[in-house]
Amino acid sequence: MKARAEPAPAVPGNPPSAADLDLFVGKTLNALRRQQRLTIADVAAKAKISRGMLSKIENGQTTSLDTLLRLTTALGVSLGALFQRFQLPDGGAQHVRKGEGLEVVRRGTRRAHTYHLLASGRGPKRHFEPFLVTLTDKSEIFPRFEHPGTEFIHLLEGRIRYKHGKESYLLAPGDSLTFRGDVPHGPETLIKLPIRMLSIIIYHDEPGEL
C-alpha cells in the first residue's frame, strides 16, 4: 500500500487539512507514550489494538475516534489532550492559564495527586517538561520514579521529605532540589498538606526508538 505523502506546509489563512490533523495527533500520541516510557507493544496491548495499527496512527497514516479513545484511556489522558496544541504557531509562546495545564497520570499514583504539565513540545522530541505537582493524601505509598535527564523541584507549599537514591531531604516552602533523574527518587513522607511544587525535567539526550 502506498504510504501517505507528507502534507504541504500550511499557508497562513488556509484551514488545516485532515492529513495535517492526522500527523499532529500521531506525533502527540508518540510523545505521550515516550513520556511514560512505554513501548508500542505496551500501549497496543492496553488499548486492545495491533502494534501495526498503533504504528500507523503514530505516523499519521490512519485514525478513528473509537481507537483514539481507547489509546488515550490506555495512556491515562483525556481525548482532548490530543488536540489542545493543534494550530499553535511554530515558535510561538505557550500561555497556560491557571488550572488549564494538561493533567498527566503518573505510574503508581492515584487521581488525588495531580501532575499538571505546564508546557509541551509539538513533536516527539522533548527538551524539558515543567509540572505543577499537587499532593493531597498522606496515606499513599509512592513508587520510586526513574527517567532520563536532570530534575529540578521547588517547593511552593507544605513540607515534604524527598528521597533520592540513598539520601533523604527535608523540604520546606522556598527550598529546591536538583538531581539526576535516572537515580530512583520520589516523595518519602508527606509532612504538611497540601503540598505544591514545581518539577522541571530537562532532557539531555533522547533514548532510542522504543
The CATH number of 18-82 is 1.10.260.40
Q: Under a CB-based contact definition with an 8 Å cutoff, are residues 95 and 101 in contact?
A: no
102-202 classified as CATH 3.20.20.70: no
Residues of the chain within CATH 2.60.120.10 domain(s) are 102-202
CA 127 to mean position of chain CA atoms: 12
Residues of the chain within CATH 1.10.260.40 domain(s) are 18-82
* Overall pTM > 0.75: no
Residue at 155: amino acid letter: L
What does the DSSP assignment read for 19-66? HHHHHHHHHHHHHHHHHTT--HHHHHHHHT--HHHHHHHHTTS---HH
Q: What is the dihedral of CA 45, 6, 120, 11, to 10 degrees?
A: -150
Per-residue pLDDT of the chain (210 residues; tens, 9 = 90+): 334 444 444 444 556 677 788 888 888 898 888 888 889 999 999 999 999 999 999 988 887 878 888 898 888 877 777 776 666 555 567 777 787 776 766 655 555 577 877 876 655 456 788 989 998 887 667 778 888 889 999 999 999 999 999 999 999 999 999 999 999 999 999 999 999 999 998 987 544 333
Q: Output phi, psi for 124, to 5 deg.
A: -75, -15
